[in-house]
């Protein structure tokens, strides 16, 4: 009823919409959406789209989507829009758990009657495509061979003239986060470099971005998203789409940990950074 009153008549009470929806969980928002349809015979999301606009609309509509469906929609737009938004593919596929990846694949098929892997391979190429496909599979533990993996990575990069990208892709794409953290420790002892330093030197372009994301997420998903948010806020303009996507998708997952990592890494609060850089999102 509060939302209906905020949207009927002349003008829209955006503050009421914002204050109500951002103070409810996603599960509660789904129940509100169902009750709205029962009471008024209208789709709440459609009404919100009709009343709101711009970045605020994107934020509110994103909050109204179930989490898996939000990921699925983001991936679809990244693949089927004008050009390919590699940033979205990197962010989602490197950071989600194996179970979430399985749920995303199933939901993508149900929502679009299409195969996510086929859509990705039809829109990407080369080593970048291969690693994305590997990330869509279930990754294993293999905890007992961390030194062998570290040696193979060293041989494929720092020790070699040129780079054997296939080894980086195979090892970093197929191992679990717990195993990779042990590999990184062994690699540091062997090579004298952090894994990220070698990737920066040995690879480039979208593949480098994806490999770095895999490594950073294996170390700490909240720290990865803290850095993602920092990069979206720095500079002359704000990367609003990334800011919206991360705030919506992580709001009920690990936002408190992201905030703590943001302060640790950048010596300022996420709140103050958003307030300074994001304009319309100030009150949220």
- Structure confidence at residue 142 as a pLDDT band (50, 70, 90): low
- Structure confidence at residue 5 as a pLDDT band (50, 70, 90): very high
Rounded distance, CA 86 to CA 74, Å? 11
Structure tokens belonging to residue 206: 């979208």
Phi and psi at residue 267, to the nearest 5°: 55, 30
Residue 192 confidence (pLDDT): 95
pLDDT (tens digit, 9 = 90+) per residue, 88-105? 999 999 999 999 999 999
Rounded distance, CA 8 to CA 210, Å? 46
Rounded distance, CA 271 to CA 284, Å? 10
Q: How far is CA 184 from the centre of its chain?
A: 23
pTM of the model: 0.94
Rounded mean pLDDT, 249-254? 98
Residue 104 confidence (pLDDT): 98
- Structure confidence at residue 283 as a pLDDT band (50, 70, 90): very low
> Which of 189, 192, 155 lies closest to 170 in space, CA to CA?
155
C-alpha angle with apex 105: 104 to 107, nearest 5 degrees?
Answer: 60
Rounded mean pLDDT, 103-114? 98
pLDDT (tens digit, 9 = 90+) per residue, 189-222? 999 999 999 999 999 999 999 999 999 999 999 9
Residue 59 has pLDDT above 90, yes or no: yes
Tell me the percentage of the chain whose pLDDT exceeds 90. Answer: 87
Phi and psi at residue 209, to the nearest 5°: -60, -40
Residue 159 confidence (pLDDT): 81
């Amino acid at each position: 009823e509060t939302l209906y009153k905020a949207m009927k008549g002349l003008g829209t009470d955006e503050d009421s919409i914002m204050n109500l929806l951002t103070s409810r969980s996603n599960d509660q928002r789904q129940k509100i959406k169902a009750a709205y349809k029962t009471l008024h015979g209208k789709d709440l999301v459609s009404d919100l789209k009709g009343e709101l606009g711009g970045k605020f609309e994107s934020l509110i509509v994103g909050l109204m989507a179930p989490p898996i469906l939000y990921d699925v929609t983001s991936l679809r737009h990244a693949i089927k829009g004008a050009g390919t938004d590699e940033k979205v593919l990197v962010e989602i596929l490197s950071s989600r758990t194996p179970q979430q990846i399985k749920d995303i694949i199933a939901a993508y098929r149900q929502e679009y009657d299409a195969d996510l892997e086929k859509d990705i391979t039809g829109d990407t190429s080369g080593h970048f495509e291969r690693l994305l496909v590997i990330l869509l599979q279930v990754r294993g533990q293999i905890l007992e061979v961390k030194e062998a993996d570290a040696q193979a990575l060293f041989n494929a990069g720092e020790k070699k003239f040129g780079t054997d990208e296939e080894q980086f892709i195979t090892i970093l794409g197929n191992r679990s986060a717990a195993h990779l953290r042990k590999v990184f420790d062994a690699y540091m002892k062997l090579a004298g470099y952090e894994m990220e330093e070698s990737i920066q030197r040995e690879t480039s372009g979208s593949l480098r971005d994806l490999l770095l994301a895999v490594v950073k997420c294996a170390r700490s998903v909240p720290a990865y998203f803290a850095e993602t948010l920092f990069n979206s806020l720095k500079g002359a303009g704000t990367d609003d789409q990334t800011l919206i996507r991360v705030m919506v998708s992580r709001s009920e997952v690990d936002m408190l940990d992201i905030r703590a990592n943001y302060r640790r890494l950048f010596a300022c609060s996420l709140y103050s950074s958003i307030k300074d850089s994001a304009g319309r999102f100030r009150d949220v």
